[in-house]
Every structure is written in C-alpha cells, then in structure tokens.
Amino acid sequence: MNKIIVYPYSILFAPFLRHLSNLQKYEIIGAVMPGKLIKEEVDASFVDEGLKMNVPILTDFESRLNECDTVLWAEYDYDENESFYNKVLYQINYALDMGLNIICCQELSETIIESFKTKARKNNCEFKYIMDINDNFNDLQDYNGNVTVPVITVMGVTENCSKFETQLSISRIFKEKGYKVAQIGSRQACELLNIHSFPKFMINNQFSEIKKIELFRKYLIKLQSEENPDLIIVGIPGGIIPFNDKEKMHYGIFAYEIFNAIDSDYNIVNSWVDTYKNICKDLEKIVYYRYNTHIDAICLSNISVFNDHSIIDRQSLEYNVYNIKKIEDCIQNVDYNSIYNVLDESSMNRLVDNIINKLTN
Amino acid sequence: MKNKPFIKLFNTRYGNYIYDVNTNSVLTVKKETYDCLSKIMKSNELDESLYNEELINLEKQGYLKSKRPDIIELPETDNIEYYLTHRLQKLTLQVTQQCNFRCRYCHYTYGDDTLYHSHKSASMSWETAKEAIDFFAERTRDTKYVNIGFYGGEPLLKYDLIQKCIDYGNKVFEGKILSYALTTNGALLTVERTKYLIDNNVSILVSLDGPKEIHDKNRKLAIDGSGTFDLVYSNLEEIKETIPEYFSRISFNSVVDPSLDCSQINNFFACDLFKLQPINTTALQPTVGKGVYFSNEYVKNSKKSLLLAMLSQVGVFDAEELPKIAFNHYISFSSFNKQMNRFFEVPDRMGHSGPCKPGIFRLFVSIDGGLYPCERLKDTSDVMKIGTLNEGFDFEKVKYIYNVGYVCTDRCKNCWNIRHCKICATKINDGQCLSKELCAYECKYDTKLTEENLRQYMAISEVKKIIMGVN
C-alpha cells in the first residue's frame, strides 16, 4: 500500500481526503497545509468542520517526505497567488528529485505535465496525472434505449455548498448497505476515488446544447450497460441560479441539460445554511419551472458566502465555514420534512433510507 | 391604531421627496402631496383619510409602510464568535508610541490624558509582534486575503521590527493572499526602504497635508516644533527621481483643515510630482464634543468641489480629471449610491448599517498586547478593549461594542436613518462607557449628514434632468 502525503491541503480537497481515507487504498501519513496557521497537528477535518478523518494536518513538507513514497498533489485555489503556485511547482520538483511518485489532482498545462513526466522517468518514479480524462465519446453513438436504473441527482443552489460531500456520503452509505453504485461526480479529480468525473463533452464548446443532452443520455446508458449498477448518482456542477451580477454559477445550464437528458428518480438540492431560510419558499418553484422536476430532499451545507461590505469590490466570493451546530439550529427552525445535515452521519443515513423508501414504493 | 409611515421627508430647490425607510428608496412627489404628508407626520396619530390619490397609489405599490424593527441588534451578532475564531482579516500592529512629529491635530499630542496616552518612548517587542502575528494567523482559517498593517507613533522608527514582521508573516501566511500596509509621516522614508517595502507588497500611505504653508501649520517636528514639509518633500522627490516605478505606488493622505483655504491643496496635488498619485483627503476631526472652525474660503471651495463632483456623476466631466478634493466627493457619491439598494421592508431584527465587526475587519494590537477594534481610538480606556493576546477575545464585549444600538434602542427603533447611520462605538466612548449622551449628540450629526447625502443624491438626478433632459 502506498504511503502518501497530501500537499498543498485546503478545504477544496477535504471531501476527497475524507473519502480517500475511507477507501483504505493508501496509507495517509498526513496533509500538509501551507503556512503556519495551526500550532500543533490537528485532524484534517479542521478545514471544513466535517466528520473526523484521522489524518493529521502537517505544517512542514520537506521534512516529512522521507516518511512516504508518494505525494498526492491536491487541487488548490491559486487565484491571484502566483508566487505560491511557483513554490508548489518547486516542491513537487523536489519530491521528484527524491524519487517519490506524484499523483496529480491539479489541472496543469501540457508543457508542465510533460516536464514532470520526463523528470519522473529520469528518477525512476511515476507522475500520474489523473485530470487527463479519457474523453472518448465516439462509441456513445452505439448506446440507445433508456436509462432504467434509478438515477439520483445532487445539485446545489450555488457552487461551494458541499454537494460533492453529499454525493460521496450517500454513495458510501449505499455501498455499505450492499448496493452497487455508478457515479458521475461534479469535480474533475473524481477519478482519484474511482468515480467518473463530469464528462468533458459537456463543457466542449464545439457541441451544441442539443448534442450535449443527447450525448449525456447515451453516456448514462453506457454506464448502465458496462457497470450494471443498482443505482446511478449524478452530481451536477455549478449552481441552479446565479448568485448576483458577478457570480453567475453557470446559470444552471448543466442542470438544464441533465434534466432534459434523463428523468431522475430522486433529487437532492444542497444549500448554504445562511441563505436557506430566505429562499426555501421559492426553491421548489425554481426547480419545477426551470427543470420540470421536484425536490425530494434539501441538504444543508455548513458553508455560506461571506457577504460583507468590506469585500464588496473583490473579484471572487469568499466563504464562511461554520460548525455543525449552525446547521442543527437552522433545521430546527425551518418547516420542511425532508431536510438533512451534510455534516451529520446519522442525518445522511436517514437521507439514504428516505431514498430507498421512495424508490422501493 | 396603525403607526405612521416609516419615512423621512426632505426637499431640494427643485423637488419634494419621501425617503421610504422600508424599501430604502426615494420617491418624488408633488408639492401638495409633500405638504399633506408633512401635516400627517406632525400630528399625533395617523389619519389615512387625509391621504390624497398619489399617497394611496404609493401605498398600493408597497411604499409608506409603517413597519419598524422589533429588535435592535445586528443579525451578524450570531456569527461574531465564528468570525473571531476563523475569519480575521486585518492585523494592525502598534510598533511604537514614539513619534518624531508633534502634529497639532494628533490625538496623541493634544488629547485629554484620560482619553489618550501622550507620545511615549515605548515600543512593541519582537516577542509581542510575533505573538500577535501567530494569534492572528490561528484565526484566519477561512480568510483568503489577509493584511498586516504597521502603525505608531511613527512606525518607520522601528524599521528593523517591521522587516522582521514581514519576513515572519511571509512564512506564516504562505498560501494566502498577503499584503501589508504602512502609514508614515514620510520623514524616514528613503529610496532603499521604499524599494524594500513595495517589493514586499506593502502599501505605503504618506501623510502630506498640502503645500508648505498648509502642511507646516499643523505638522511639526517633535525636536524643535519647526515645519516638516521640506524634509518630507525632499524625500519624495528623491524617491521619484531614483525609482519612479516605485513612487507611483505610494498613496497620500491629506488632512484638510477647514479653517484654511483648500483650493491651495487642490493646486498643490495637481503638480507633476503628485498628479498621478492616489490622494485621499480626510476632514480634520473635531475632538469629541467640540467644534471645528470653517473658513469662508473653505466653504466656498468645498461647494465648488461638490458641484464638480455632481457634474462628474452625470457625465459632464471625467472623474479622473477632477481636482483631488472634488474626486473624493465623487467617490462619496458613488459609495452612497451603492447603499441605495432596494429592499422589501425592514427586518424584525436589525441594527444600523455603520459599524464594522470589531476586531474582525481590523484587529489593532497595542504595544503591550492589548486587543482593540481599530487604531483610531483611546487605547488607555478599557471600554474599547476586546481582549489580550494572552487571554484571547472577550466575545461578549465584542458583541456589545458591535451593537451601538444597545445604548439607545428606543431611539434607533424609530430612527429613519437606521439603514445609513455610521455611528460606531469609537465615537460614543467617553472613556468610562459607551455614552447615551454622546450617542444622542452623534445621532444628531449623523442624521443631518444622511439628510444632506439624500439631498445630494436627488440633486444629481435633478442636474441630469436639466442638463440631459432625462428622467
């Protein structure tokens, strides 16, 4: 079993690390967070206040490299931080020079990928780029018919509302109950967890929206045929409505295409905990009139947008990450039966029971 | 019995207006409607039978609601502990209390001893600075952009300490978008220091009040009370000549003394050395409870600047070409425009819009490790102290300071200015407590200010109508 160190670690990678540690595919030594923001080693769940991972956060990269044979290069938001990006490139090169394998979950240019692969070959180690998805869709033409297996969709009112965590949680619980699950995730690095990432033809500008809808239906039929699952979970990237003039959340276009491609059997909508009360009355109508489908469950995320006048001119949104109590308080004060807490294991178990109930009745 | 509408009536030379608090919008009405509503608002009880057709229509469209908040408390109070634990944004270190200047308007020079410390020789130790940076870092888990500022006295008197803090900060905040800020009187700003600071992402703000005769009136050397303009200006000239690409990244702050003629300030900052630099002007702040003298020249030029700024708002002038004081008015107008978002109605629980979240947007650490919400306050008074580096934050104190409305709840509930009020705890701290009397005093000033902002807001659209014939 490979011994890995995750670097650079942040909330962006937390759902992957949580479920990777469950997969028991690797022995995870720790996750290196940049900087010196913590005094002592805390659990990696510190970044997202989620379920404990039993993986320590480390603060120094180079000194811990001799404890592992593989570095998992985690996805990180380098927005406006070119100097840190260059530092990470330097560190990865350093690890390769030590003969360590690299599993890369960060999107890179062809040139950089090639240079790392060359260096890896020279040092007798491996540079595995998992973001390079086989986007062969030519064989999809052969797949016709219907999707007969139940399809569960997970969408978010906005981006960054823990919908990936929801997808991974329900998938794991279903598997623990003995179900065979095929899954399309809403994040590119899904392949790390043996999950299909969102097919690239869906973001290919060369295809019309009609073509994308048709291809997606065929893609699901192919998945159904090859993997013979009991159910399919589809994570829908982006949000379903724009947040404001600057943050469009893809205008809900992916949800529109997917709901035209398939008839889903159960729909979960994730929402920021802070904004849920403001929009709960309208959410059902939004989903019905935009996508011609209904909401079966709401999953509240402990993440919410940081909407403060002090950052009104910033280019991108920033987020607050609350603890579990925030979601519990919200759930107690809303009048909706099918509402769940993404941080609470028992709540997610109840969600899966609810799904099974509905699909078997 | 229905309450009276929650509104404020005001007029300009060309129009009669209702500011509707619930929707945060300004309604243009006919004179007879304005007079009718004036009478209604002055009477003891609401008599809707006096509503004319225009008022009835406005009511049907959702205006003139009487709803007022039930609870005066900022809803974000619920999240204060979260913010203080995970979302601090700016750290300001008081690196020294020493200063080589004795500016006449500086709180530390002429403040009452019970409210401010006078200039002393104490400075922050490296151990305290490091502890402050670590304290701050541990509480920035969810913050993407972090900023560390250096304050004094004159911070460049502790240049070595600043360099140490920058080196340490760069290691601690690796992975975040880190910037620094420094406010200086410019006397110790050399070419070498400017280069180092800007290369390390330090925003430099130099205090420069204007031409020599204006600057030297208030900004004096500590050693002999002589003027400081020549010293500062020669440093700036040298920096501009030697490293012009760095000079362009220096900003300036001018404290405008209204007893003086501000047109000289505009002319000074229009010269070659400064014309491309960002210049911020701030009005000289009166000591609490005392006034400031306004000269005739100041009043005349101020009105001229206002008019130029208004004409820029409607597109007659390019804002970039405005004289500096007028440009700052332009920015104020734009900022007020942004506050005029439309709402459905006032929420049940609200506070006034002014205050920042104490310690969160800005955390000021005094030389001995005391924690305060900002540097513009009386750091000898415990009223505004929100904790220490050793003991951490006093969450309840922060919530109290954040909610100035606790001091004057009944007044705030019925105050039409609740959405625009800018009173913060600093302004109503009398050294012993957050004072109800000071709050009443500031309230009068602030409501007048908002009323004037509303008049200017509508005056701009009146000007637009006249000049461009648009609605």
pLDDT digits 0-9 by tens, B221-238:
988 889 999 999 999 999
Q: Which of A159-163, B17-21, B49-53, B260-264 has the lowest mean pLDDT?
A: B260-264
Phi/psi at A87 (5° precision): -65, -45
Query: Between B86, B134, B174, which is nearest A321 by CB?
Result: B86
pLDDT digits 0-9 by tens, A220-252:
999 999 999 999 999 999 999 888 878 888 899
Chain A nearest-CA residue for B131: A39
Distance CA B11, CA A189 (A): 61
Distance CA B327, CA B254 (A): 13
Average pLDDT of span A131-154: 85
Chain A nearest-CA residue for B89: A310
pLDDT at site B20: 97
Residue type, B415: C
Mean pLDDT of chain A: 91
Number of residue pairs across A and B with CB atoms under 8 Å? 68
pLDDT digits 0-9 by tens, A290-307:
999 999 999 999 999 887
Distance CA A122, CA A119 (A): 5
At A9, is the pLDDT very low, low, confident or very high (cuts 50, 70, 90)? very high
CB atoms within 10 A of CB A88: 21
Residue type, B104: R
Query: Between B144, B173, B338, which is nearest A35 by CB?
Result: B173
Higher pLDDT, A335 or B343: B343
Contact between chains at A310 and B172 (C-beta distance less than 8 A): no
Distance CA A65, CA A103 (A): 14
Residues of B in contact with A326 (CB under 8 A): 82
pLDDT at site B429: 86
At B112, is the pLDDT very low, low, confident or very high (cuts 50, 70, 90)? very low
Contact between chains at A322 and B361 (C-beta distance less than 8 A): no
Average pLDDT of span B386-409: 93
Contact between chains at A39 and B134 (C-beta distance less than 8 A): yes
Check pLDDT > 90 for residue B326: no
Contact between chains at A314 and B145 (C-beta distance less than 8 A): yes
- DSSP conformation class of A333: T
Query: Between B138, B141, B338, which is nearest A39 by CB?
Result: B138
Tell me the CB-side half-sphere exposure of residue A337, using CA atoms within 13 A: 3
Distance CA B254, CA B270 (A): 13
Phi/psi at B77 (5° precision): -55, -35
pLDDT at site A191: 87
Reference A249, options A280, A220, A233, A272; nearest CA is: A272
Contact between chains at B171 and A36 (C-beta distance less than 8 A): yes
B132 exposure class (CB count in 10 Å sphere: 0-12, 13-18, 19+): buried
Interface residues on B facing A, Cβ-Cβ cutoff 8 A? 79, 82-83, 86-87, 89, 134, 137-138, 140-145, 171-177, 338, 356-357, 361
Nearest-Cα distance to chain B for A304, in Å, is: 11
**Position of tokens 């031409």?**
B211
ipTM over the 0.90 cut-off: yes
Nearest-Cα distance to chain A for B349, in Å, is: 14
Say if residues A102 and A92 touch (Cβ distance below 8 Å).
yes
Contact between chains at B172 and A87 (C-beta distance less than 8 A): no
Residues of B in contact with A74 (CB under 8 A): none
Check pLDDT > 60 for residue B471: no
pLDDT at site B29: 95
Q: Please give the model's pTM, rounded to 2 decimal places.
A: 0.91
Reference B304, options B356, B263, B251; nearest CA is: B263
At B208, is the pLDDT very low, low, confident or very high (cuts 50, 70, 90)? very high
Average pLDDT of span A277-285: 85
At B204, is the pLDDT very low, low, confident or very high (cuts 50, 70, 90)? very high
Question: What's the angle, vertex CA B286, arms to CA B280 and CA B291, rounded to 5?
Answer: 130
pLDDT at site B115: 43
Distances (CA, A) of A44 to A50, A78, B227: 9, 20, 58
Distance CA A185, CA A163 (A): 10
